[in-house]
């Protein structure tokens, strides 16, 4: 179906090729996962598969790419459209029409699908992607996850034999992601579709994959068996991390496989050792892990919301929310796509006015403060961190931030160095990797030393090492006396970093409690380790390791 | 979105549906042409009011509201016109002098222009009316934009114009994206402690906004490409050349004709034949193009009586005012010297008012109808579940 013979791509003006040595043969009906750190060339590889590279991107392609027998040298992307469907990372940028229904019909219209077949396929697609209720909505008013589902549906409806997706679940909540991936596996199993996916959140996809391609620094591996690939992949999900640490063989890739390995461990960790019945709570291995949880500090208030309601047009995004956010803690705001997370953060940051109730940040209404005073109290790193960056080099950006916040020169640089490690500061911010750009945006905001730090979906496009660094930084900031709030779908990140979890639904708070209680109590939001060790309240690999340490 | 059950509401003349975008654009351009052919402020205000009212009545929920921005641009045009007149004059020597500005003597070869000097009420009124005419024309286009987005209109573009199509879609999405991105970048500026006001701040917006919008436009073009836009079956080369030539000639003819009609010169009638020839050529290219159009249509908006009515109601004021202008009816083209209230030509007033009827004869768009029936039934304002 897909055949790459010794393919390498060099973009115009680049000295090193973006990918080299791609030599692959993907058969029909396989789900292939492309794994690699950010900026390793995954997107380039995917864009080769429908001819966008090199027809659209420019650059030089060596070797041969043959899709369903058609050479991309002679076939433009539009000539491959009936064969390959391509879903990009940012769905909003790819929409051609205004409404859901028109968007799904667009590809079919261009390919000349007959009206009766088109009508039927459109209805099927709406059902398959769970979009029936949204059919006449305009695309701009949908939430990120809904947009992603429309983008996939629009491509699917055109009936391609190959589906190429670049991070299809990065904007989706766990349940919606599972739905989308479930739909994809169904297509593979029932219709024999070939699917190629690049995804950072391996915990969501690895167990669906038939084959894995590792991409590292532009070097493209052959088709690997998923378990074999995971034994040495630099990026891997928690379940693999756990399996590697505990020496499980064969390496489990799914929660189900891992639970079988962990059967005996669950008993050992949860059991009360003999002879300690009088003080059981101090001695169980489980408590060694759980007992070290910090209580959520409640001395100083960072932000207080009283019966806050936020409207956005006709939509009531946040409804009657009362919350207190304390300094020294990391709070995660979760909830399905469109639950009002971003609106809540926007209201705390003073970007959205409250239509009822009030917001106080360190005792003041943020909407009444002038921006230059507000940014000292509350800082927000928006979902798209690029919005914060304007300068043409990292160094200039840091200097601009220093003068913006009136801090001594070099402050932002120092923060950046601590967060991102050494960087080439002459680079244009656009040339940085996703994780480095986030680090830069975060440094800019931190230069103002806001008491309340808000991050909107900070892990989009971050690989595991970058996430680990982010976790360490956020913990440090909280310890330094900031109230950190992050809105995210990434349960693994929440398990690592948050003290407290707030779950929103339809703009209302449905759960609010310590991370361990909330995450282990919910099947939708449980991280992998919690699922493996259920009913024990373990969240992370570190928890397990701690529980297994010999009692001192 | 459930369609409302039939109720006893007054507006339930026909089932809610979207009106064909071509009909809205004909209506809007007709009204714009009418506005371009009068300098009677009363008539111009009427045009703006009619356009605004129809937008309120028939804009679908969630459609981009372009009426407001176009109105703002129109107001800016008026202000600029007046300012230029005050400073530079516009060749109208009036008798009622409002203010004397210090005058700078200009060399003789710049006759007709002045810098400073006395500013007459007549010249200011003339400038304001000229500005108002431009504003009213713009507002009509803004109304058409709000009633039927250009992207919807483009679905009906003939296959012959495929090659132009990508450019048009990208261009059309560029402007709204600029506006949206500017808003987001401005919000981000505030996060960095800037007020976001002032010329220097605006200047700092330019680079990130242009860069962002350009990036997105490229993404869009890539997306159209990979979804098969512009796939045409390999055809007879001659066929294609004839089709393209006809289409280009037709487009040029139509544009020139429209310019002739809209540019309120005295030769307004000369524009009409060019427009007619251009339209004939365009239709011919459409017919040719349709033959090699491999696209299929999903639920195209029907063209029924309301669409014909909308076209007729939009073209009516254009025809009446054009006729009035060439026949020299009093009150169509108003002389500012001597200053007096122009008479109101009854046929023109009637024609513009009739154009407003379009809000009755066209069906309500479905989501707007749903919202209205719910609010009319006493339910609280509709709460769509989400938008984050």
CA distances from A163 to A19, A32, A43, A173 (A): 21, 10, 14, 22
Out of B299, B323, B353, pick the residue that ends a domain.
B299
**Pair B173, B56 in one domain:** no
pLDDT digits (tens, 9 = 90+) for B320-367: 998 898 888 888 888 777 788 888 899 999 999 999 999 999 999 988
Instruction: Tell whether B61 lies on the interface with A, counting CB pairs under 8 A.
Output: yes
pLDDT digits (tens, 9 = 90+) for A56-96: 888 899 999 999 999 999 899 988 999 999 998 888 888 88
Nearest CA to CA, how far is A110 from chain B (Å)?
5
Instruction: Tell whether B298 lies on the interface with A, counting CB pairs under 8 A.
Output: yes
Least confident among A250-254, B104-108, B218-222: B104-108
The number of domains in chain B is 3
Give buried/exposed letters for A399-432 (b at 16+ CB in 10 A, else e).
bbbbebbeeeeebbbebbbebbeebeeeeebeeb
**Pair B246, B170 in one domain:** no
Rounded to whole angstroms, how far apart are CA atoms A99 and A139? 5
What CATH number has the domain spanning A2-230?
3.40.50.300
**Pair B79, B36 in one domain:** yes
- Name the A residues in 327-346 with CB < 8 Å from any B CB: 337-343
**Pair B309, B200 in one domain:** no
The answer as to whether B353 is a domain residue is yes
Instruction: Tell whether A408 lies on the interface with B, counting CB pairs under 8 A.
Output: no
Contacting residues of A for B388, CB less than 8 Å apart? 143-144, 317, 337-343
What are the φ/ψ torsions at residue B3 (nearest 5 degrees)? -80, 145
Kindly give the parts of chain A with pLDDT less than 70: 272-283, 292, 551-552
Rounded to whole angstroms, how far apart are CA atoms A190 and A126? 18
**Pair B139, B264 in one domain:** no
Rounded to whole angstroms, how far apart are CA atoms A33 and B316? 62
Kindly provide the residue ranges of all beta strands, DSSP E only, lying in A11-139, ordered along the sequence: 19-26, 31-35, 60-67, 70-71, 84-87
Nearest CA to CA, how far is A181 from chain B (Å)?
22
Pull the structure tokens for residue B153.
Answer: 């209109």
Nearest CA to CA, how far is A132 from chain B (Å)?
9
Contacting residues of B for A94, CB less than 8 Å apart? 219-220, 222-223
Q: Which of B212, B209, B204, B200 is nearest to A396 (CA)?
A: B204
**Pair B118, B35 in one domain:** yes
What is the SS3 assignment for B103? strand
Chain A residue closest in CA terms to B172: A96
Instruction: Tell whether A154 lies on the interface with B, counting CB pairs under 8 A.
Output: yes
**Pair B203, B91 in one domain:** no
CA torsion A337-A341-A347-A348 (nearest 10°) is -160
| Number of helices (H), then strands (E), in chain B | 13, 2
Do A327-353+366-498 and A2-230 have the same topology in CATH?
yes
3-state secondary structure A278-307: CCHHHHCHHHHHHCCCCCCCCCCEEEEEEE
Instruction: Tell whether A78 lies on the interface with B, counting CB pairs under 8 A.
Output: yes
Q: With beta carbons less than 8 A apart as the criterion, state whether A56 and A113 touch.
A: no
pLDDT digits (tens, 9 = 90+) for B248-275: 888 888 888 777 777 655 555 567 778 7
Instruction: Tell whether A428 lies on the interface with B, counting CB pairs under 8 A.
Output: no
CA distances from B289 to A318, A498, B161, B239, B284 (A): 51, 61, 8, 9, 8
Q: Is the backbone peptide bond immediately before B338 cis, with ω within 30 degrees of 0?
A: yes
Which of the four pLDDT bands, split at 50, 70 and 90, describes residue B383? very low
Instruction: Tell me what pLDDT residue B10 has.
Output: 45
Out of B175, B198, B231, pick the residue that ends a domain.
B231
The answer as to whether B116 is a domain residue is yes
Instruction: Tell me what pLDDT residue B297 has.
Output: 77
Interface test with A, best of B170, B228, B290, B371 (most A CBs within 10 A): B228
pLDDT digits (tens, 9 = 90+) for A126-183: 988 888 999 888 888 887 778 888 998 999 899 899 999 998 888 788 888 887 888 8
pLDDT at B7 over 50: no
Pairing of strands A2-10, A19-26: antiparallel
| Number of helices (H), then strands (E), in chain A | 23, 19
Q: With beta carbons less than 8 A apart as the criterion, state whether A147 and A341 touch.
A: no
pLDDT at B32 over 80: yes
Helix A411-420 vs helix A394-405: crossing angle, to nearest 10: 130
The answer as to whether B193 is a domain residue is yes
Higher per-residue pLDDT: A85 or B247: A85
Q: Is residue A461 within a helix (H) or strand (E), and if so which, with residue range?
A: none
Indicate the burial class of B11 (C-beta count within 10 angstroms; 0-12, 13-18, 19 or more).
middle
Instruction: Tell whether A162 lies on the interface with B, counting CB pairs under 8 A.
Output: no
Instruction: Tell me what pLDDT residue B159 has.
Output: 62
Instruction: Tell me what pLDDT residue A437 has.
Output: 86
Interface test with B, best of A78, A148, A400, A430 (most B CBs within 10 A): A78
Q: Using the beta-carbon criterion (under 8 Å), do B63 and A155 form an inter-chain contact?
A: no
Instruction: Tell me what pLDDT residue B132 has.
Output: 95
Instruction: Tell me what pLDDT residue B386 has.
Output: 38
Contacting residues of A for B386, CB less than 8 Å apart? 143, 146, 315, 317, 337-340, 506
Least confident among A20-24, A362-366, B130-134, B281-285: B281-285
Q: Which CATH architecture has domain A327-353+366-498?
A: 3-Layer(aba) Sandwich (3.40)
Rounded to whole angstroms, how far apart are CA atoms A43 and A53? 10
> Which residue in B152, B227, B296 is closest to A115 by CB distance?
B296
Residue with tokens 């009212």: B53
Indicate the burial class of B302 (C-beta count within 10 angstroms; 0-12, 13-18, 19 or more).
exposed
Cross-strand partners of A212: A33, A224
Contacting residues of A for B155, CB less than 8 Å apart? 97, 102, 109
Chain B residue closest in CA terms to A54: B222
Instruction: Tell whether B387 lies on the interface with A, counting CB pairs under 8 A.
Output: yes
Q: Using the beta-carbon criterion (under 8 Å), do A389 and B208 form an inter-chain contact?
A: yes
pLDDT at B2 over 60: no
What are the φ/ψ torsions at residue A226 (nearest 5 degrees)? -55, -45
Instruction: Tell me what pLDDT residue B232 has.
Output: 63
Q: Using the beta-carbon criterion (under 8 Å), do B298 and A506 form an inter-chain contact?
A: no
The answer as to whether B341 is a domain residue is yes
Helix A255-270 vs helix A541-548: crossing angle, to nearest 10: 30
Q: Using the beta-carbon criterion (under 8 Å), do A88 and B193 form an inter-chain contact?
A: no
Q: Using the beta-carbon criterion (under 8 Å), do A349 and B191 form an inter-chain contact?
A: yes
Cβ-Cβ contacts under 8 Å for A486 (sequence gap 6 or more): A330, A331, A332, A333, A454, A455, A456, A458, A474, A493, A497, A498
Nearest CA to CA, how far is A138 from chain B (Å)?
6
The answer as to whether B207 is a domain residue is yes
**Pair B138, B248 in one domain:** no
Rounded to whole angstroms, how far apart are CA atoms B256 and B243? 20
Out of B250, B283, B299, pick the residue that ends a domain.
B299
Chain A residue closest in CA terms to B148: A98
Pull the structure tokens for residue A286.
Answer: 């489980």
pLDDT at B12 over 60: no
Which of the four pLDDT bands, split at 50, 70 and 90, describes residue B171? confident
Q: Using the beta-carbon criterion (under 8 Å), do A93 and B188 form an inter-chain contact?
A: no
CA atoms within 13 A on the CB side of B350: 5
Share of chain B above pLDDT 90, in %: 25
* Cα B357 to the center of its chain, rounded Å: 19
Q: With beta carbons less than 8 A apart as the criterion, state whether A7 and A63 touch.
A: yes
Q: Is residue A502 within a helix (H) or strand (E), and if so which, with residue range?
A: strand A500-505
Residue with tokens 């739905």: A179
Q: Sign of the CA dihedral A524, A526, A528, A532?
A: negative
**Pair B37, B82 in one domain:** yes
The answer as to whether B94 is a domain residue is yes
Contacting residues of B for A448, CB less than 8 Å apart? 192-193
Pull the structure tokens for residue B66.
Answer: 């372009």
pLDDT at B379 over 60: no
Rounded to whole angstroms, how far apart are CA atoms A103 and A368? 41
Contacting residues of A for B227, CB less than 8 Å apart? 78, 81, 96, 106-107, 110, 154-155, 158
**Pair B85, B137 in one domain:** yes
Domain boundaries, chain A: 2-230, 327-353+366-498
Which of the four pLDDT bands, split at 50, 70 and 90, describes residue B1? very low
Q: Which of B227, B180, B239 is nearest to B205 (CA)?
A: B180
**Pair B22, B146 in one domain:** yes
> Domain containing B203: what range?
157-231
- Name the B residues in 143-182 with CB < 8 Å from any A CB: 149, 151-152, 155, 169
Q: Between chain A and chain B, how many beta carbons pairs sit less than 8 Å apart? A: 204
What is the SS3 assignment for B50? helix
Q: Which of A513, A379, A485 is nearest to A442 (CA)?
A: A379
Contacting residues of A for B203, CB less than 8 Å apart? none
Least confident among A111-120, B241-250, B285-294, B368-377: B285-294
Instruction: Tell me what pLDDT residue B8 has.
Output: 45
Rounded to whole angstroms, how far apart are CA atoms A91 and A140? 11
CA atoms within 13 A on the CB side of B323: 10
Q: Using the beta-carbon criterion (under 8 Å), do B226 and A84 form an inter-chain contact?
A: yes
CA distances from B190 to B185, B186, B366 (A): 9, 6, 38
């Amino acid at each position: 179906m897909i055949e790459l013979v010794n393919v390498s791509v060099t973009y115009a003006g680049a000295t090193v090729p973006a990918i080299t040595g791609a030599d692959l043969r993907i058969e029909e009906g396989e789900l292939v996962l492309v794994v690699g750190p950010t900026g390793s060339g995954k997107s380039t590889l995917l864009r080769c598969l429908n001819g966008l590279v090199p027809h659209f991107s420019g650059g030089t392609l060596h070797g041969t790419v043959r899709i369903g027998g058609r050479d991309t040298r002679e076939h433009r992307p539009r000539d491959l459209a009936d064969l390959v469907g391509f879903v990009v990372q940012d769905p909003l940028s790819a929409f051609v029409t205004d409404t859901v229904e028109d968007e799904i019909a667009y590809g079919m219209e261009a390919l000349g699908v007959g009206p009766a077949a088109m009508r039927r396929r459109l209805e099927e697609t709406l059902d398959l992607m769970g979009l029936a209720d949204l059919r006449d909505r305009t695309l701009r008013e949908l939430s990120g996850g809904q947009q992603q589902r429309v983008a996939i549906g629009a491509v699917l409806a055109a009936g391609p034999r190959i589906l190429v997706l670049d991070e299809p679940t990065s904007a989706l909540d766990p349940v919606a992601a599972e739905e989308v991936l479930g739909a994809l596996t169904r297509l593979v199993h029932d219709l024999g579709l070939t699917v190629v996916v690049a995804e950072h959140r391996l915990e969501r996809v690895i167990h669906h994959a038939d084959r894995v391609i590792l991409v590292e620094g532009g070097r493209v591996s052959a088709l690997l068996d998923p378990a074999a690939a995971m034994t040495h992949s630099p990026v891997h999900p928690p379940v693999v991390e756990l399996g590697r640490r505990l020496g499980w063989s064969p390496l489990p890739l799914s929660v189900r496989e891992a639970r079988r390995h962990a059967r005996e461990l669950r008993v050992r960790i949860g059991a009360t050792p003999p002879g300690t019945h009088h003080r059981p709570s101090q001695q169980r291995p489980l408590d060694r892990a759980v007992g070290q949880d910090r209580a959520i500090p409640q001395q100083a208030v960072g932000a207080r919301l009283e019966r806050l309601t936020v409207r956005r047009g006709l939509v009531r995004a946040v409804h009657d929310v009362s919350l207190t956010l304390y300094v020294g803690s990391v709070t995660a705001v979760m909830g399905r796509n469109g639950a009002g997370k971003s609106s809540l953060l926007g209201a705390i940051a003073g970007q959205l006015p409250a239509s009822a109730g009030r917001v106080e940040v360190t005792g003041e209404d943020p909407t009444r403060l002038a921006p230059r005073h507000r940014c000292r109290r509350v800082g927000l790193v928006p979902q798209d961190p690029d919005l914060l960056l304007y300068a043409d080099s990292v160094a200039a950006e840091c200097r601009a931030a220093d003068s913006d916040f009136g801090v001594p020169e070099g402050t932002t640089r120092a923060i950046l160095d601590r967060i991102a490690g050494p960087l080439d500061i002459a680079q244009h911010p656009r040339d940085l990797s996703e994780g480095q750009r986030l680090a830069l945006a975060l440094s800019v905001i931190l230069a103002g030393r806001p008491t309340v730090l808000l991050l909107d979906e900070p892990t989009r496009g971050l690989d595991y090492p970058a996430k680990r660094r982010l976790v360490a930084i956020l913990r440090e900031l909280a310890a330094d006396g900031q109230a950190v709030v992050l809105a995210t779908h990434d349960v693994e990140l929440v398990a690592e970093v948050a003290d407290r979890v707030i779950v929103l639904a339809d703009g209302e708070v449905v759960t609010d409690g310590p991370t361990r209680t909330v995450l282990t109590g919910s099947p939708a939001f449980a991280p992998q380790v919690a699922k493996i060790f259920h009913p024990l309240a373990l969240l992370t690999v570190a928890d397990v390791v701690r529980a297994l340490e010999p009692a001192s | 979105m459930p369609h409302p059950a039939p109720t006893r509401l007054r507006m339930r003349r026909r089932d809610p549906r979207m009106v064909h975008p071509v009909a809205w654009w004909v209506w809007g351009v007709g009204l714009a042409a009418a506005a371009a052919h009068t300098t009677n402020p009363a008539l111009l205000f009427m045009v703006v009011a009619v356009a605004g009212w129809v937008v309120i009545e028939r804009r679908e929920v969630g459609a981009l509201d372009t009426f407001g921005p176009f109105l703002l641009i129109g107001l800016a045009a008026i202000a600029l016109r007046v300012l230029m007149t005050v400073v530079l004059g516009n060749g109208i020597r009036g008798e009622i002098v409002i203010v004397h500005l210090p005058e700078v003597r200009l060399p003789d070869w710049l006759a007709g222009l002045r810098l400073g000097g006395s500013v007459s009420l007549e010249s200011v009124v003339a400038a304001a009316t000229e500005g108002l005419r431009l504003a009213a024309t713009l507002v009509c286009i803004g109304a058409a934009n709000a009633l039927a987005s250009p992207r919807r209109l483009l679905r009906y573009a003939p296959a012959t114009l495929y090659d132009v199509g990508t450019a048009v879609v990208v261009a059309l999405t560029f402007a709204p994206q600029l506006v949206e991105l500017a808003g987001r970048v401005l919000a981000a500026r505030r996060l960095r402690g800037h007020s976001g006001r002032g010329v220097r701040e605006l200047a700092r917006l330019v680079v990130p906004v242009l860069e962002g919008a350009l990036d997105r436009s490229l993404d869009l073009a890539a997306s159209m490409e990979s979804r098969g836009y512009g796939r045409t079956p390999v055809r007879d080369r001659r066929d294609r050349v004839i089709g393209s030539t006809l289409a280009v000639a037709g487009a040029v003819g139509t544009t020139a004709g429209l310019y002739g009609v809209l540019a309120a010169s005295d030769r307004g009638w000369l524009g009409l034949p060019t427009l007619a020839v251009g339209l004939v050529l365009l239709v011919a290219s459409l017919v040719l193009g349709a033959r090699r159009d491999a696209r299929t249509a999903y639920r195209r908006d029907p063209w029924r009586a309301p669409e014909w009515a909308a076209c007729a109601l939009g073209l009516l004021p254009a025809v009446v005012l054009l006729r009035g202008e060439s026949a020299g009816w009093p009150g169509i083209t108003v002389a500012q010297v001597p200053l007096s209230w122009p008479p109101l030509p009854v046929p023109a007033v009637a024609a513009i008012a009739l154009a407003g009827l379009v809000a009755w004869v066209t069906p309500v768009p479905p989501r707007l109808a749903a919202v209205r029936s719910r609010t009319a039934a006493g339910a609280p304002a509709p709460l769509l579940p989400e938008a984050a």
